[in-house]
A and B are shown apart, each in its own frame.
Chain A
Amino acid sequence: MTVQDLWLLSPEIAMTGVAIAIVFADFFISNKRTLAYLAVGLLALPLLFSLNIWFGVVGDTTATSGLFGSIVADRFALFFHFLLLGITATVIIGSVQYIERLKEFEGEFIALVLLSVTGMLLLVSARELISIYVALELTALPAAALAAFRRDNLSVEAGLKFIILSAVASAVLLYGIVFIYGYTGTTNLAAILVRLNDLPVDSSVPFGSYGVLFAVVMIVAGFAFKMAVVPWQMWVPDVYQGSPTPVAAFLSTASKASAFAVVIRIMYTSFGSVDLQQDWSALFAVLAAASMVFGNLLALSQTNLKRLLGYSTIAHAGYMLVGVAAVAANTSSGSAIAGPQGTMYYLAGYAFTNLAVFFAIIAISNRTGSNEISSLNGLGKRSPLLGVLLTVGVISLLGIPPTVGFMSKAVVFSAAVNSGLLWLAVIGVVNSVVSAFYYLRIVRAIYFEEPKDDSRITADVPVLFATSVAVVGVALFGAVPWLILRLAEKSLELLLA
Chain B
Amino acid sequence: MFNGLLTVTVFLPAVAAVVIALTLKNKQAVRWSAIGVATVTLLLSIIVFVSYDRTVGGVQFVDQITGWIPVDALRAQYLLGVDGLSAPLVLLTGFLGMAAAFGSWRVEHRIKEYFFWLLMLESAVMGVFVSLDLLLFFVFFEFELIPMYMLISIWGSGRPKYSAMKFVLFTLFGGAFMLVGILALFLSQGVGTFAMVSIPEAGIVGIPDLIAGVDLIAPAALIFSFFLVAFAVKLPLWPLHNWLPDAHTDAPTAVSVMLAGVLLKMAGYGLLRINLGFFQETKGFTIHDAAGFLSVLAVISVIYGAIVTIQQTDMKRLIAYSSVSHMGFVMLGVAAVGSSADKLSQAGLNGAALQMFTHGTITGLAFLMVGLTYERTHSRHIPHLGGLARKMPLIAIFFIIAGFGSLGLPSLSGFVAEITIFLGTFPVWPWATGIAAFGVVLAAGYTLWMVQRTFFGPGPQAGGMSEESYEKLTDANWVDMIAVMALTIPIFVVGIWPSVITDTFKLGIEAAIR
Contact = CB atoms under 8 A, between A and B. Distances in A.
A48 B73 CA distance: 31
B161 interface: yes
A443 interface: yes
A485 B169 contact: no
B399 interface: no
B161 A444 contact: yes
Contacts, number: 105
A433 interface: yes
Contacts of B149: 440, 443
A334 B74 contact: no
Interface in A379-430: 395, 400-402, 406-407, 410-411, 413-415, 417-418, 422, 425-426, 429-430
Contacts of B146: 395, 400
A440 B180 contact: no
A386 to B, nearest CB: 15
A401 B138 CA distance: 8
Interface majority SS on B: helix, strand, loop or mixed?
helix
A413 B218 contact: no
Contacts of A401: 138-140, 142-143
Nearest to A415: B73
Interface string B55-80: 00000000000011111111000000
Contacts of B69: 407, 481-482, 485
A266 B184 CA distance: 29
Sort chain A's interface into a size bin.
Answer: 35 or more
Given A401-B138, A413-B180, A447-B154, A432 B70 contact: no
B179 interface: yes
A448 interface: yes
Nearest to B191: A333
Contact of A410 (B74, B161, B169, B184): B74
Contact of B165 (A332, A440, A489): A440
A406 B73 contact: no
Contact of A448 (B73, B140, B153, B176): B153
A410 B183 contact: yes
B180 A448 contact: no
A332 to B, nearest CB: 6
Nearest to A449: B161
B143 A402 contact: yes
A335 B73 contact: yes
Contact of B173 (A400, A406, A410, A433): A433
A342 interface: yes
Contacts of A447: 150, 153-154
B67 A433 contact: no
B217 A417 contact: yes
A414 B187 contact: yes
Interface of A: 332-335, 337-338, 341-342, 395, 400-402, 406-407, 410-411, 413-415, 417-418, 422, 425-426, 429-430, 432-433, 436-437, 440, 443-444, 447-448, 481-482, 485-486, 489
6 contacts: A401-B139, A410-B179, A411-B74, A418-B73, A436-B168, A482-B67
Interface of B: 67-74, 135, 138-140, 142-143, 145-146, 149-150, 153-154, 161, 165, 168-169, 172-173, 176-177, 179-180, 183-184, 186-187, 189, 192, 217-218
